[in-house]
Chains A and B, each alone.
Chain A
Amino acid sequence: MIARAPAPHPVITFIVRRLIATVFLLIVVSMVTFSIFFLLPRLAGQTTYGLAAQYVGRSPTPAAVHAIERQLGLDVPLPVQYGRFLKGIVFGRHFDSGTSKAYCPPPCFGYSFKNQQPVWPMMISSVPVTVSLAIGAAILWLVGGVSIGVLSALRRGTLFDRFSMGVALAGVSLPIFFTGLIALALFSYRWPIFPNVQFVPFTQNPLLWAKNLILPWVTLAFLYAALYARLTRAGMLETMNEDYIRTARAKGLPERTVIVKHGLRAALTPIVTIFGLDIGLLLGGAVITEVTFSLHGLGQFTILAIDSQDLPEIMGVTMLAAFFIVFANLVVDILYAYVDPRVRS
């Protein structure tokens, strides 16, 4: 009798399948991004000479433009440039700094046209700022938004409900660059409780890290908490009118159990999905919040890359943002796979 290997757990199969799809998706994203920034301008008539001229100082000679064309690797065909880009991500690349050949280990996202430095270390040094901002704000808005949403739903029509939903409407409506500037004007300059906001690494001083991030957290969380409060309220109102809630009550379950175990659990399912997407998007760069509070995160890195038309930096940050979004979706899907067996098929 031949012993057959045990079938892999369906969740593991699901995860492997999704990981393979994720890699494929990221390759597609890289191709699309590369095409947008390198191929399309070429098709529209831009020459590599014209592209190189963007990265030379004032009144350049043709020799100077050709030199930078070679230095930036723009003088080789586009498929070769793309191949080098992919190779760098997988195997790393060497860059000529002049005095030495510097190795850029994988994942090497190329060499900044403007700063003449490998993109990955510059980009990754911005990640702690964005992660600190996104995670802190997420905790605030998740706790605050969901709690307010639940309470509003349970006290529908009361003053609390109307007031909190009014505030929530304001939160959704007011842009961060407005609430952020108001927060700075009040709490940084009028009453300098949080003066001179700047990022301090958690490892350097946890207290200062938190103190400097409170205003950005609250500002960012205000927008999202408002959204989550309204979503939670709507979900709870819908769920609490379901037949099974009536049944649970009829069976004599305590109201607390009915609300938390049966009502909130069902209402939270769509919230989890949206939360995953929001976190993924924010990790890719909370652009407006970072710019408003002068935080050197991925969002600000992106703005600078676009401002200076630094194509490798734009490519790198697009790929990283795509990775965060795909990864966050992957986590949400895996969580779903655990709680809902239908998803695994």
Chain B
Amino acid sequence: MGVTAFGAVAALALAACSSSTSTTSGGPTPATGFNAGITHVMNPSSQKGGTLNFASSSGIPDSTDPGNTYYAQMWNLSRLYAMPLMTYKSCPGKCGGQVVPMLATAPGVISDNGLTWTYHIQPNVHFEDGTLVTSSDVKYAVERTFDRGKFPLGPGYFPALLAPQKPAYPGPYKDRSKNLMGLKAVETPNPTTIVFHLAKPFADFNYVVAIPQTAPVPPNKDTGANYQLHPISTGPYMFQSYQINKQLTMVPNPHWNPATDPNAKQLPSKIVLTFNVNPNDVDNRLLAGDIQVDLPGTGVQAAARTKILTTPSLKAQSDNPVSGFSWFFGLNTRVPPLTNIHCRMAIEYAANKTNNQTAYGGPFAGGAIASTVAPPNVVGSVAASGKKFDLYEATTKPQGDLTKAKQQLQQCGQPNGFSTGITYRSDRPKEVSAAQAMQASLARVGIKLTLHGFPTATYTSNFAGVPKYVHSHDLGIIVYGWAPDWPDGYGEFYYIVHGAAISPVGNTNLEELNDPKVNSLLDKFATTTDAALRNSYTAQIDMQVMRDAAILPNVFAKALLYRSPKLTNVYVQSYYGMYNYAVLGLK
């Protein structure tokens, strides 16, 4: 999922450099100019009315069902119609990465043994039909996530983290217990209390319940796979009409109470989302004011980018936040000769990082050259600390250090270089360019890359994420990108570097790294309740992964967003790395 954000330090510095009247502290002086929307609420207003138009160059990436979605844009959008137990605070700047209660009255209370988390929910939240929300509705929403056949697209944290029962809980549709409440690991002692029993301690559980999967679902209104067509709203808006991949229209939810939901607003009188609009047409409509928001939040296309960056009045209406994604090359530790760390180090030194950055679109559309893995939005990351850890001179010698690369090749026993394969998603032009750039730069030290492109839809399920396939085809380098499910070290690293995350199909630990030091740090992370101590592990994990030369970081992704002048209350929410859709209004 693309949970995103910007690095506080980088963003603040950027804003300070480019914003004409703003202050980095976000004081009362109204901000204007390029990047002002990263640190300030632009056009603050409580004016109601108007139709807010979104457009997207693709369809709904997965689902509008809060229980069956894994995309940042959908998690952002879903706050308009769903209230999970926790959420991310609606505010610009660093504050937007802070997890806060939404349906819950407070963060979870953890038991002494770390196995039980208790939440109290607000007693006066209603569904769109006026029915009172109870803890049973939250439990039912969690139960739905156990039916992976019906809801395969959302995260699988609850089945993985909650205490198992025998026989395994099958999900509510095969549940034969009273009132469909058969999941024993979740208890609802009263209508406003919900208790989660975990299989083992997990300190990041507040982040897990901030995923939209805890948004309440009334059992008697659940329509299974069809629930996506009309989720029963608890947020400020509710579905009026929805045609999958065509258009979604939302209107104000009359039973929404702003006092219970301070992180959202109900300002426009209608919200219309149009899908599958030609990408350049999306930008043209955005610039013309026909639409106000580009839903995916991944930035404008090349033509509009040039226009915006070369027109001062348009540039002043744009923001260039770090999106939270990091693009990198996984160096597979089990494909010879990359089994030898020195061969991997040779790649780290030989790569031309400037060309790789250009492949991703340069500094505005691609991002900043990275020397570590975790992007600056991740709490405790090296990048967020402002310190530098640049083991392979990515930022000091971005063209590559061929002398050191050759030394590493000598130590690896491959003085004349070697041959290996590089995989990339063939329908993503940036990845194609990145693979070609790597091919050219590594050839300088005799490392010959053969290009292997695969479609995105089958990339991890059939090729790059299938270790057996990777080994048999000598695919040593894998082009990939990652954004954490939540902005801390565990969310960032578990699935991409923990040995236990290596899976035979759909593998995301593409390096197949199984370093006991990394595993141990992540395991400690999961059980450490002291937030400061826990977050101190993040940089350690990052540095160890770099010492292992298992990942060649490319860029911390950025996106050029156009901030429509028609919008009010508009700012970049750091957690999503795009504008906060829950609070937008119109002039």
Interface, chain A (partner B; CB < 8 A): 46, 49-51, 53-65, 67-68, 70-71, 96-100, 102, 115-117, 122, 125, 181, 184-185, 188-189, 192, 195-196, 198, 291-294, 296, 300-301, 304, 307-309
Beta-carbon contact of A71 and B506 below 8 Å: no
- Greatest chain B CB density within 10 A among A49, A50, A71 is at A50
The answer to the question of B532 belonging to the interface, with a C-beta cut-off of 8 Å to chain A, is no
Q: Closest CB of chain A to B427's CB: distance in Å? A: 8
Chain B residues in 8 Å Cβ range of A98: 147, 150, 172-173, 222-225
Once A50-B466, A71-B149, A99-B173 are accepted as A-B contacts, the answer to whether A292 and B501 lie under 8 Å apart by CB is no
A11 to B160, CA, bound (A): 67
| Nearest B-chain residue to A188, judged by Cβ | B284
Beta-carbon contact of B59 and A304 below 8 Å: yes
Chain B residues in 8 Å Cβ range of A188: 284
Q: Closest CB of chain B to A104's CB: distance in Å? A: 12
Chain A residues in 8 Å Cβ range of B535: none
- Greatest chain A CB density within 10 A among B274, B285, B290, B461 is at B461
Chain A residues in 8 Å Cβ range of B508: 58-59
Contact-residue size bin, chain B (C-beta under 8 Å from the other chain): 35 or more
Query: Contacting chain A: which of B88-96, B183-191, B238-246?
Result: B238-246
Beta-carbon contact of B281 and A57 below 8 Å: no
| Nearest B-chain residue to A41, judged by Cβ | B462
Chain B residues in 8 Å Cβ range of A68: 148-149, 152
| Nearest A-chain residue to B276, judged by Cβ | A300
Once A98-B147, A98-B173, A292-B278 are accepted as A-B contacts, the answer to whether A184 and B284 lie under 8 Å apart by CB is yes
Once A50-B505, A189-B288 are accepted as A-B contacts, the answer to whether A57 and B276 lie under 8 Å apart by CB is no
Once A97-B225, A294-B276 are accepted as A-B contacts, the answer to whether A71 and B150 lie under 8 Å apart by CB is yes
Q: Closest CB of chain A to B287's CB: distance in Å? A: 8
Interface, chain B (partner A; CB < 8 A): 1, 58-59, 62-63, 70, 147-150, 152-156, 159-160, 172-173, 222-226, 228, 243-247, 274-278, 280-281, 284-285, 288, 290, 427, 455, 457-458, 460-462, 466, 495, 501, 503-506, 508
Kindly list 11 other residue pairs between chains A and B, CB separation below 8 angstroms, not including A53-B506, A54-B462, A67-B148. A50-B458, A57-B154, A59-B495, A59-B508, A60-B152, A64-B152, A97-B150, A99-B173, A184-B281, A292-B278, A296-B247
Beta-carbon contact of B505 and A296 below 8 Å: no
Chain B residues in 8 Å Cβ range of A54: 457-458, 461-462
Q: Closest CB of chain A to B566's CB: distance in Å? A: 14
Chain B residues in 8 Å Cβ range of A291: 278
Beta-carbon contact of B160 and A181 below 8 Å: no
Chain B residues in 8 Å Cβ range of A55: 152-153
A220 to B511, CA, bound (A): 49
Beta-carbon contact of B152 and A308 below 8 Å: no
A98 to B153, CA, bound (A): 16
| Nearest A-chain residue to B457, judged by Cβ | A309
Chain A residues in 8 Å Cβ range of B427: 307
A292 to B57, CA, bound (A): 11
Q: Closest CB of chain B to A317's CB: distance in Å? A: 13
Enumerate the 4 nearest inter-chain pairs by beta-carbon distance, A residue then B residue, closest first.
Answer: A98-B224, A71-B149, A53-B461, A67-B149
Beta-carbon contact of A198 and B274 below 8 Å: yes
Beta-carbon contact of A99 and B1 below 8 Å: no
| Nearest A-chain residue to B170, judged by Cβ | A67
Beta-carbon contact of B243 and A125 below 8 Å: yes
| Nearest B-chain residue to A53, judged by Cβ | B461
A64 to B284, CA, bound (A): 41
Chain A residues in 8 Å Cβ range of B223: 97-100
Beta-carbon contact of B277 and A60 below 8 Å: no
Chain A residues in 8 Å Cβ range of B224: 96-100
Beta-carbon contact of B455 and A309 below 8 Å: yes
Q: Closest CB of chain A to B423's CB: distance in Å? A: 16
Q: Closest CB of chain A to B374's CB: distance in Å? A: 17
A115 to B278, CA, bound (A): 21
A11 to B553, CA, bound (A): 71
Beta-carbon contact of B462 and A58 below 8 Å: no
Chain B residues in 8 Å Cβ range of A122: 244-245
Once A50-B505, A184-B281 are accepted as A-B contacts, the answer to whether A296 and B246 lie under 8 Å apart by CB is yes
A129 to B63, CA, bound (A): 24
Once A54-B457, A99-B173 are accepted as A-B contacts, the answer to whether A296 and B462 lie under 8 Å apart by CB is no
- Candidates A60, A198, A294; contact of B156 at CB < 8 Å: A60
A300 to B57, CA, bound (A): 11
| Nearest B-chain residue to A199, judged by Cβ | B246
- Candidates A50, A70, A292, A296; contact of B461 at CB < 8 Å: A50
Beta-carbon contact of B173 and A67 below 8 Å: no
Q: Closest CB of chain A to B75's CB: distance in Å? A: 13
A174 to B153, CA, bound (A): 42
- Greatest chain A CB density within 10 A among B154, B274, B503, B505 is at B505
Q: Closest CB of chain B to A55's CB: distance in Å? A: 6
Chain B residues in 8 Å Cβ range of A304: 59, 245, 276
Chain A residues in 8 Å Cβ range of B285: 196
A185 to B281, CA, bound (A): 9
Q: Closest CB of chain A to B485's CB: distance in Å? A: 8
Beta-carbon contact of A56 and B225 below 8 Å: no
Once A56-B506, A60-B152, A97-B226 are accepted as A-B contacts, the answer to whether A50 and B462 lie under 8 Å apart by CB is yes
Q: Closest CB of chain A to B415's CB: distance in Å? A: 37
Chain A residues in 8 Å Cβ range of B58: 307
Q: Closest CB of chain A to B576's CB: distance in Å? A: 17
Beta-carbon contact of B152 and A57 below 8 Å: yes
| Nearest A-chain residue to B427, judged by Cβ | A307
Chain B residues in 8 Å Cβ range of A50: 458, 461-462, 466, 505
Chain B residues in 8 Å Cβ range of A308: 457
Beta-carbon contact of B505 and A49 below 8 Å: yes
A296 to B246, CA, bound (A): 7
Chain A residues in 8 Å Cβ range of B62: 57
A181 to B301, CA, bound (A): 15
